[in-house]
Structure 1
Amino acid sequence: MTAKGLRRIKIKKRIRKYIFGTAERPRLTVFRSNRQIYSQLIDDSTGNTLVVASSLGITEKVSKKKIAYRTGVLVAQKAKEVGIRSVVFDRNGYLYHGRVKELADAAREEGLKF
């Protein structure tokens, strides 16, 4: 694994010591690959994934940031359907910048509170 990947894992472990999702306020976690972005709402007390959204279904030729924005809108809409209004944001060791920030901003604009 590269030094950059090891750094992200180290940061991820440090963050996860303090971030914990419950059924009332699940953890919104983000994973980004080179091409796609994925987000989940996780209840850590039971280990269940409540909502999943990803950019796999988006086939339009737009920038990665716009795809991340649409994924954030999608996860917020699915969360509303399940009845979730408030979450804990887990950036998963990534910098709060670029695609991660776009996803978070879109989820906030759609009504998720964090």
Structure 2
Amino acid sequence: MVEHDFLSVNFEPFEAETLARHEALDRAREMVVEDPNILGGAPVVRGTRIPVHDVAAALNAGRSTQEIQAAYSTLNAEQIELARLYASANPQRGRPSTSQRKGMELVSEKRVARRRRT
């Protein structure tokens, strides 16, 4: 609680939420392994060869937890959610994908030939 003259601000709810999110991120980091001998060092769920970013991409594409569990039977619901958290905190290197966002559609596409210098 911070108090100054007529103003008082209670930071306890924010502190509790931040602590809970930090603990979840710690659990996600403990769940992930980056070993050069496993899939070339890609982050995978500990004890498996399941890439964390693939699980997160499936969730972000609209797949349900049940669909992902059907595809990766060794994962439980918590591991799937922690994979999403890990992937959002540790994005893949390189250029981001150019997938369209929900509600957007391509109106036209035009390719322009590059002029060569002479």
Q: TM-score, normalised by structure 1?
A: 0.29
When Rg is computed on C-alpha atoms for both structures, the one with the higher figure is 2
Higher share in strand: 1
